[in-house]
Amino acid sequence: MINKDTVLEMAELAKLSISEAELDRYVDNLNQMIEVVDKIKEVDTEDLEPNYNVNNLINPLREDEIKESLPREEVLKNTNEEQYGYFKILRVMD
Amino acid sequence: MDIIDLKAWEMKEKLLNREISSREILESHLNRVEEVEKDINAFITINREKALLDADIIDKKIKNGEEVGALAGIPIGVKDNIMTKDLRTTAGSKILEDFISPYDATVIKKIKENHGIILGKTNMDEFSMGGTTQSSYFGPTKNPLDNTKVPGGSSGGSAAAVKSKEVPLSIGSDTGGSIRQPASYCGLVGIKPTYGLVSRYGLIALSNTLDQIGVFGRDVQDAVLMLNVISGKDQRDFSTMDSKALDIESLEKVDSLKGIKVALPKEFFLGEMDDRVKAEMDKSINIFKDLGATIEEIDLPSVKYALETYHIITSGDISSNMARFDGIRYGYRAKDYETLDELYINSRTEGFGEEVKRRILFGTYILSGHRGKEYYDKALKIRTKIIGEFNNVFSKYDIILSPTSPNLAFNLGEKRSEIYSRNEALFQMPVNLAGLCAISVPTGNKEGLPVGLQIIGDRFKEIDIIKAAFAYEGMVK
């Protein structure tokens, strides 16, 4: 069973804040979802390999050539704060 | 003649014959948008000024006798999770409400190279998480056939825009049915291509090994016209493979399916199904027999785990994919914060809707600690099993037939039961899990809400499902 503490722990990992008023609802939702997916436990997967790609692609490699990329102003145009052509964030160290 | 009643291929013909201009085509659709949008809400953003400029450029080219591309002058709706340079891309979320795409997705580049005109960006469930288009931050889209009903989703805006004749063609994305189900609910043709046929570069990812961009049209020929343009290998999406263009001209003449082997999975017909869907399915099977196809029942025992497998894989992918929205480089930033951590937490908490948060939390839970092995790894193994069963079927049969959905479009705001969602998932999610192609075609019923017939084909065998769809469409028109 997922309890309030588990939901708060997951929220912390996912950088979300869940209010006391919403908490019960998320506890219920997550327990319902777990109940649904727990059905896979009845499947015997002993001899099966996990599938990572339906087309069985082998890592396609290419020459490491310098190619045109997005211009700096395009990259920065959606940010709230920039300085000297960089994203500006809060000071994290003194 | 009203231009908006024409199919895309008819518009293009008349444009090339100089019977109508590109500007006339666009203006008639923009007028239609003005007229119906307040009732339908298919679009989040309309690209009016730029589209008019593009239309004039095409008219000039035609006047000068220059070559024009396959989509010349055709207004196109683009699901709002696909990047369109200098135009807003929101993914139906508050967190991207003011996000301007810095580049074009590969599919958009191809549409532009073929002189298609981006009319606007269509509404969707927030980050494609949903099947009704009601979780959009920009309000729900309504079904043009009955505005008390949902259009389906998550690509509901793209479906509604084509059905209401605001555009003749649109593109959407399908991770677990998000093109086929709205196509079925709105009475359109919708194609979910094989994983790897269409580049996903510039598509906001939901679940990377399941997502695929596809098309909506009002008939098979229109949908194929669009699919041909957007398909093909792309250096920027290494999962894409080389593919040959489909020969539309030869397909028009398909009026027999002699020699085609059709499989009907027993598992698809065990659960509850709307009576009308059942009746239409029976009729469709007879039509395939009349066309000369042979039909046999088969088993796909593991598809009954498709819903669980899908939810585990997508939720895991979501918890990782949604981590990029941090309020720093782009997207919504909260007003109040003291520390960097508060900036992240407040921006994400205020920016994401409830369904998105639910799936992030669930994904984080099933990936954390020992649960990664217990759920995610196990789901990937069941996926192997499902793929194996489909491979076996396609070693003996050409196509699989099923309803696209066992349900009809339902009331806006109506809460659906888990059984209802489970039944629907059964028809749609296995196709993505196995990377197959599928098309939804409206059945023959002319009254009431539409029903979609789903034709599923093997990987990169689009030609098989499109041939079958052409022949079927010819019989029910």
In a domain, A80, yes or no: no
Residue B298 · residue B397 · CB < 8 Å: yes
- Report CA torsion sign: B200, B311, B329, B45: positive
pLDDT one-digit tens code per residue, B281-310 = 999 999 999 999 999 999 999 999 999 999
Q: How many domains does chain B have?
A: 1
Cβ neighbours of B416 (radius 10 Å): 14
pLDDT higher than 90, residue B190: yes
Which residue's structure tokens are 């119906």? B36
CB contact under 8 A, B365 and A30: yes
Is B243 marked active-site? Answer: no
Rounded to 5°, the CA angle B119-B125-B126 comes to: 100
In a domain, B298, yes or no: no
Q: How many domains does chain A have?
A: 1
In a domain, A76, yes or no: no
Residue B136 forms contact with A (CB below 8 Å): no
- Name the average pLDDT for chain B: 96
pLDDT higher than 70, residue B53: yes
Of B340, B349, B387, the CB nearest to A51: B387
pLDDT higher than 90, residue B243: no
CATH code for the domain of B91: 3.90.1300.10
Residues on chain A touching B337 (C-beta within 8 angstroms): 90
Is B283 marked active-site? Answer: no
In a domain, B34, yes or no: yes
Which of B212, B253, B379 has its CA nearest to residue B305?
A: B379
Residues on chain A touching B238 (C-beta within 8 angstroms): 57, 59-60
In a domain, B186, yes or no: yes
Strand B261-265, strand B294-298: pairing: parallel
Domain that holds residue A35: 4-42
DSSP string, B102-170: SS--HHHHHHHHTT-EEEEEE--SGGG--SSS-S-TT----BTTBTTB---SSSHHHHHHHHTTS-SEE
Q: How many Cα atoms sit within 13 Å of B100 on the Cβ side?
A: 13
| pTM metric for this prediction | 0.97
Q: Residue B391 and residue B400: Cα distance in Å, rounded?
A: 12
Classify B127 in phi/psi space as left (phi over 0), alpha (psi -120 to 50) or beta. Answer: left
Nearest-Cα distance to chain B for A23, in Å, is 11
* For residues B17-41, average pLDDT: 98
Instruction: Give me the interface pTM, i.e. the ipTM.
Output: 0.95
pLDDT one-digit tens code per residue, B337-351 = 999 999 999 999 999
Extract the tokens encoding B398: 């050409």
pLDDT one-digit tens code per residue, B55-97 = 999 999 999 999 999 999 999 999 999 999 999 999 999 999 9
Over the range B10-42, which residues count as b (16 or more CB within 10 Å of their CB) and which as e? ebbebbeeeebbbbbbbbbbbebbeebbeebbb
Domain that holds residue B151: 3-251
Task: Return the pLDDT at B418.
Answer: 78
Q: Residue B95 and residue B441: Cα distance in Å, rounded?
A: 35
Band the pLDDT of A94: cuts 50, 70, 90.
low
Task: Return the pLDDT at A91.
Answer: 80
pLDDT one-digit tens code per residue, B407-452 = 999 999 998 887 788 888 999 999 999 999 999 999 988 889 999 9
CB contact under 8 A, A36 and B312: no
In a domain, B270, yes or no: no
